[in-house]
Amino acid sequence: MEQRVTRARTLKGEITPPGDKSISHRALILNSIARGRAEISNFLPAADCLSTLACLQALGVEIELDRACSERSRRGKVVIHGVGKKGFVGPRDVLDAGNSGTTMRLLAGLLAAQPFVSVITGDASLRTRPMDRVIQPLSLMGADIRGRDNNTRAPLTIRGPALSGVEGGMLHGIRYRLPMASAQVKSSILLAALFATGDTIIEQPAPSRDHTERMLQAMGASIKSEGSTITLSPITDPLAPLTLRIPGDISSAAFWLMAGAIHPDARIRIMGAGTNPTRSGIIEVLQSMGASLKIENERLEGREPVADLLIESSPLEGTNIGGDLIPRVIDEIPTIALAASVASGTTVIRDAGELRVKEVDRISATVRELSKLGADIEELPDGMIIHGVAQLRGGRCHSHGDHRLAMTLGIAGLVAEGETTITDAEVVDISYPAFW
Ligand code: S3P
């Protein structure tokens, strides 16, 4: 599908972003491991979360998806009948994680501990992404996981410890220092650790999103975070099911935050966006660029902080982004690059090499596509240098099959002169089906 966007004269109104993708995945997975019924409202029925849902159903978990939810563009309700730690059944077919790294990496941790064999694959993009980052720590716990290309890529074949002769038929806890600040790797290890003997201690190089930790705590797991170290001790009691409302996705809200910041006549109120500090680096970035941003009505939903965000047009200045801020804005960097393209001065983004192993190489794809619209942007091995220009011009650009790049280009079209066409625009279905 091609989407055309023309420059908007004005951008005023209120937007409620869809449910958070990371939290929707975790609500499904953790409630499947719990024993009993949990109800999730404001679940994100986008392709990535539906991949997780289908995999869990294939593992024998009964999950009801509200009809309004199954039409992807709506928000809705899911009921999960958790099977408990010992209730999963071996899948009859290959599990399909689609485009979703979160599905594959988190489920690898769960599957590594089960008493059966499973195979998990994904689409062409996911099959190029590094899986050794989960295979290595899970193998240290006693897991038996094989992957393509010398155990680095999916499809993955996972044989449970009871089948591969591990003593006692169970994984064992480890002490592990994460080589990168990845919430997916951290969560994969934590999921395996729930089924292991002994404590698991994870040291993070920098904080990454902590939704798994918050949810596990609320479900009665024995987990504590001290500084950058997380310790999980296995418990014999089952996890308690967790009924919750999923907060709005700050990563989806980010597109409207940027639209409001860079458009000359904008005032957008974003209702109910998650503002968990491990996710909301975008707010700091906008503030450092001089944006007019107000945080209103701060509250807690479940264990997650939520707020309404009011963004208004204002002249933006270039900024420097790097270090520990990167994991807290990692998914927002394409849209930050867009804002930097029309800010005054220079923006430098460093320490973001992880972008090269996202759904696409997001450094090179962002640089390539924003350049087509007249941005002055150059690639660094681990980031970008962007010199602001006065005006972007419409053009024909490509999503590269990446949802976040497609939406960034859509927002660019709202401020660029003339018309912007985005090809393969349907890819927004991965995280924000109602975006267009
Ligand atoms: C996610 C973690 C991040 C993020 C991804 C979702 C998660 O990936 O980019 O969109 O839900 O845990 P990494 O763990 O690879 O940093």
What is residue 74's predicted lDDT score, i.e. its pLDDT?
63
Ligand 1 centroid vs 276 CA: distance in angstroms? 14
What is residue 166's predicted lDDT score, i.e. its pLDDT?
83
Q: Is the CB of 276 under 6 A from ligand 1?
A: no
Pair 195, 113: CB distance under 8 Å: yes
Pair 217, 302: CB distance under 8 Å: no
Distance CA 345, CA 157 (A): 50
Q: Which atom of ligand 1 is nearest to the CA of 22?
A: 11
Q: Which residues pair with 300 in a beta bridge?
A: 305
Q: Which residues of the chain have pLDDT under 70?
A: 67, 69-74
Tens-digit pLDDT profile for residues 69-93: 666 546 789 999 999 999 999 999 9
Ligand 1 centroid vs 327 CA: distance in angstroms? 9
Q: Is the CB of 343 under 6 A from ligand 1?
A: no
Tens-digit pLDDT profile for residues 103-123: 999 999 999 999 999 999 999
Q: Which atom of ligand 1 is nearest to the CA of 331?
A: 9
416: left (phi over 0), alpha (psi -120 to 50) or beta: beta
What is residue 142's predicted lDDT score, i.e. its pLDDT?
97
Q: Could you tell me how far CA 172 lies from the centroid of its own chain?
A: 28
Q: Is the CB of 49 under 6 A from ligand 1?
A: no
Pair 364, 389: CB distance under 8 Å: no
Which residue has the least CA distance to atom 11 on ligand 1? 22
